[in-house]
Amino acid sequence: MCGIVGYIGERDAMPILAKGLQRLEYRGYDSAGLAILSNGTLTTHKRAGKVADLLEHINGETIPGTLGIGHTRWATHGAPNDVNAHPHESFSRTISIIHNGIIENYSALKKELSKRGYKFRTETDTEILATLIEDIQKNTGAQLEEAVRLALNEVIGAYAIVVISDAEPDKIIAARKGSPLVIGIGEHEYFVASDASPIVEYTKNVVYMNDEEVATISRVDGLSIKTIRNQVKTPYIEELELNLEEIEKGGFEHFMLKEIYEQPTSIRDSMRGRLNARAGTVSLGGIKDYEKKLLNADRIIMVACGTSWHAAMVGEYLFEDLARVPVEVEYASEFRYRNPVLGENDVVIAISQSGETADTLAAVQLAKSRGATIFGICNVVGSSISRETHAGSFTHAGPEIGVASTKAFTAQLTLLTLMALRIGHKKGTIPESRYQTLLAELDRIPEKVKETLKTDEKVREIAETFSSVRNFLYLGRGYNFPVALEGALKLKEISYIHAEGYPAAEMKHGPIALIDDDMPVVVLATNQSAYDKIINNIHEVKARNARIIAIVSKGDTVISEMADYTIEIPATAEQLSPIVSVIPLQLMAYHMAVLRGCNVDQPRNLAKSVTVE
Q: How far is the CB of 493 from ligand G6P (least distance, A)?
A: 7
Nearer of residues 36 and 610 to ligand G6P, judged by Cβ: 610
Contact, 607 vs 1, CB < 8 A? yes
Cα 388-354-190 angle, rounded to 5 deg: 85
Of 333, 334, 329, give the one whose Cα is nearest residue 348: 329
Is residue 439 near ligand G6P by the rule CB under 6 A?
no
- The least distance separating ligand G6P from the CB of residue 328, rounded to whole angstroms, comes to 18
Residues 513-516: contacts with CB within 8 Å, 24+ apart? 514/471, 514/473, 515/473, 515/541, 515/544, 515/545, 515/546, 516/544, 516/545, 516/546
Q: Are 30 and 51 in contact (CB under 8 A)?
A: no
Q: Are 209 and 196 in contact (CB under 8 A)?
A: no
Site string for ligand G6P, 210-249 (x = CB under 6 A): ----------------------------------------
* Closest CB 285 distance from ligand G6P, rounded Å: 22
SS3 498: strand
Q: Judged by CB, which is closer to ligand G6P: 553, or 609?
A: 609
Q: Which amino acid is at 158?
A: A
State which of residues 8, 313, 550, 610 lies at the interface with ligand G6P (CB under 6 A). 610
Distance between CA atoms of residues 398 and 605, nearest Å? 24
According to CB under 6 A, which one of 318, 403, 420, 588 is a site residue for ligand G6P? 403
Of 94, 606, 611, 612, the residue at the interface with ligand G6P (CB under 6 A) is 606
- Taking the complex as a whole, the smallest distance from the CB of residue 247 to ligand G6P amounts, in Å, to 16
If the CB atoms of residues 323 and 587 are measured against ligand G6P, the closer one turns out to be 587
Among 354, 406, 452, 602, binds ligand G6P (CB under 6 A): 354
Distance in Å, CB of 73 to ligand G6P, minimum: 16
Task: For the CB of residue 311, give the shortest distance to ligand G6P in the complex, in Å.
Answer: 8
Q: Which of 122, 254, 608, 611 binds ligand G6P (CB under 6 A)?
A: 608
Question: Hey, is 86 helix, strand or coil?
Answer: coil
Please name the residue ranges forming H helices in 153-283.
255-261, 263-271
Residue number, 131 or 611, with CB nearest to ligand G6P = 611
- The smaller minimum CB distance to ligand G6P, of residues 174 and 304, is found at 304
Q: Does 416 bind ligand G6P (CB under 6 A)?
A: no
Positions marked catalytic: 2, 608
The reply on whether position 180 binds ligand G6P by CB under 6 A is no
The smaller minimum CB distance to ligand G6P, of residues 190 and 481, is found at: 481
Choose the stretch contacting ligand G6P; rule: CB under 6 A; options: 12-20, 32-40, 94-102, 300-308.
300-308
Question: Contact between 495 and ligand G6P (CB under 6 A)?
Answer: no
Please choose, from the candidates 371, 36, 300, the residue with its C-alpha nearest in 3D space to the C-alpha of residue 172.
36
Site membership for ligand G6P, residue 406 (CB under 6 A): no
Q: Are 27 and 2 in contact (CB under 8 A)?
A: yes
Verify binding: residue 353, ligand G6P, rule CB under 6 A.
Answer: yes
For residue 410, state whether it binds ligand G6P (rule: CB under 6 A).
Answer: no
Kindly state whether residue 266 participates in binding ligand G6P, applying the rule CB under 6 A. no
Taking the alpha carbons at both ends of the chain, their separation in whole angstroms is 10
Of 194, 352, 417, 577, the residue at the interface with ligand G6P (CB under 6 A) is: 352
Does residue 477 bind ligand G6P (CB under 6 A)? no
Residue 546 neighbours by CB under 8 Å, 6+ apart? 473, 515, 516, 517, 519, 520, 521
Report which residue type is found at 104.
E
Does residue 178 touch ligand G6P according to CB under 6 A?
A: no
Q: Minimum distance from CB of 76 to ligand G6P (Å)?
A: 15
Pairing of strands 471-476, 521-525: parallel
Closest distance between ligand G6P and the C-beta of residue 501, in Å?
14
Closer residue to ligand G6P (CB): 168 or 195: 195
Packing angle, helices 432-452 and 263-271, rounded to 10: 150
DSSP-derived pairing of the beta strands 346-352 and 299-304: parallel
Binding-site string for ligand G6P from residue 355 to residue 384, where x marks contact by CB under 6 A and - marks none: --x--x------------------------
508: nearest Cα among 541, 471, 479, 485: 541
306: left (phi over 0), alpha (psi -120 to 50) or beta: left
Residue 194's nearest CA partner among 399, 17, 386, 4 is: 4
| C-beta closer to ligand G6P: residue 138 or 368 | 368
- Nearest distance, CB of residue 157 and ligand G6P, angstroms: 20
Binds ligand G6P by CB under 6 A, chosen from 100, 126, 197, 308: 308
CB atoms within 10 A of CB 300: 26
In the sheet where 471-476 sits, what is the strand order? 498-503, 471-476, 521-525, 548-553, 565-569
Q: How many CA atoms lie less than 13 Å away from 407 in the CB half-sphere? A: 30
Q: Sort 497 into a burial class: Cβ within 10 Å, 0-12 / 13-18 / 19+.
A: buried
The residue of the chain with the least Cβ separation from ligand G6P equals 306
333 part of the interface to ligand G6P, by CB under 6 A: no
- Minimum distance of ligand G6P from residue 304's CB (angstroms): 6
CA–CA separation, 55 and 351 (whole Å): 36
Nearer to ligand G6P, 402 or 511 (CB): 402
Q: Which residues bind ligand G6P (CB under 6 A)?
A: 305-308, 352-354, 357, 360, 403-405, 606, 608-610
